[in-house]
């Protein structure tokens, strides 16, 4: 998820700044609707933080079943001390 956030910041931040400047000053530096550049960047950052928490919330009731499935199919052993969400 850190790669996602870094990519969004590296690509989206300049677009966000240009679109915000266009809305505030009226200069035309971006083709298209500048509101898209202003809204999409924060939405993608927010989604990057909320998606892992949403997945953890939705899967928390099935944690034992998912652990058993992974141990069976991957022949893996789960360390109980490291079973926190990342």
Instruction: For residue range 23-78, list pLDDT tens digits in order.
Output: 999 888 778 888 998 999 999 999 999 998 998 888 888 888 888 888 888 876 66
> Which residue range is the domain that position 11 belongs to?
2-75
pLDDT of residue 73: 81
The C-alpha atoms of residue 42 and residue 5 are separated, in whole angstroms, by 11
pLDDT of residue 78: 64
Residue 34, domain member (yes or no): yes
User: Residue 77: CB partners within 8 Å, gap ≥ 6?
Assistant: 71
Residue 86, domain member (yes or no): no
pLDDT of residue 16: 93
Question: What are φ and ψ of residue 34, in 5° steps?
Answer: -70, -20
DSSP 3-state percent helix, strand, coil across the chain (nearest 5): 80, 0, 20
Residue 83, domain member (yes or no): no
Single pTM value for the model: 0.63
**Number of separate domains in the chain:** 1
The C-alpha atoms of residue 64 and residue 79 are separated, in whole angstroms, by 13
């Amino acid at each position: 998820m850190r790669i996602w956030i870094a990519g969004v910041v590296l690509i989206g931040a300049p677009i966000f700044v240009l679109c915000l400047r266009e809305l505030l000053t009226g200069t035309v530096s971006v083709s298209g609707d500048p509101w898209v550049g202003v809204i999409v960047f924060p939405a993608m950052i927010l989604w990057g933080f909320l998606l892992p928490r949403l997945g953890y919330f939705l899967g928390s009731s099935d944690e034992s079943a998912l652990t058993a499935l992974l141990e069976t199919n991957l022949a893996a052993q789960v360390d109980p001390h490291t079973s926190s969400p990342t």
